[in-house]
Structure 1
Amino acid sequence: MITADQRMLVFEPLGNGAWRLCDARVEESSAERLIAYVERAASGGYEAIWIGAGLRSSHHATREDIRNAAMARHS
């Protein structure tokens, strides 16, 4: 089940198999809107590059798992 807070995190398409994960509560012109860059991994699943956390990366089975990880990072 997706909570109201999770709905504020949106995947904006960048191209085939690539997205920006953004906080929809922040103005589009603000750099603080960007949470992570996400790409479909060749080995399966998704790779997230987290912005503002030292550019760390993590691997996830689904995009929903990335959204959950973002919620945990921002709580």
Structure 2
Amino acid sequence: MTIAAPEPPRSNAATWEVIPLGRGAWRISDGSRKQTDPGRLVAYVDRNETGTLEVLWLRSPCPTRSRYRNLEELLADLDTAVAAGVNPSRGTRPNEIPHFPPA
């Protein structure tokens, strides 16, 4: 049995490859990288019961959101994050929380 997913929309940057994995699931890859490059895989996308898309980001830079209404919005956000170079370092400390001595 073969399940065909609708053709996904294309990004304006045309470097993202959106590969359908089944009904309501996609894999996003960076078309500018070689097939053997592990950094080629960008994200996995799943449509949940409510119709929203949930994204598992696999590399940086990536958007800070993980839920989207549609693929066009997701790809636009991805383009913006890559253009801005959003790459939060996990090695740096988060914002400091003020600590007060016990009363």
TM above 0.5: yes
How many residues are matched?
A: 70
Q: What percent of counterpart residues are identical?
A: 27
Q: Which residue in 2 is equivalent to 1:35?
A: 42
Structure 2: segments with no counterpart, 5+ residues = 1-10, 84-103
| Shift >6 Å, 4+ stretches | none
Which residue of 2 is the match for residue 65 of structure 1? 73
> Whose RCO is larger (CA < 8 A, sep 6+)?
1
State the Cα distance separating 1:74 from its structure 2 match. 1.2
Aligned letter for 2:76?
N
More helix by share: 1
TM-score by length of 1: 0.78
Higher Rg: 2
Partner of 2:53: 46
31-40 or 12-21: bigger deviation: 12-21
Q: What is the RMSD of the two structures over their aligned residues, measured on CA atoms?
A: 1.8
Match of residue 9, structure 1, among 13, 16, 29 = 16
Q: CA deviation at 1:15?
A: 2.1
Normalised TM-score (structure 2): 0.60
Query: Does the Cα contact within 8 Å between 1:50 and 1:57 map onto a contact in 2?
Result: no
Q: 2 CA distance for matches of 1:58 and 1:35?
A: 13
What are the superposed Cα offsets for residues 23-65 of structure 1, whole Å, 9 maximum, x if unpaired? 1111122111111100112111211111124xx7611011111
Structure having the higher strand fraction is: 1
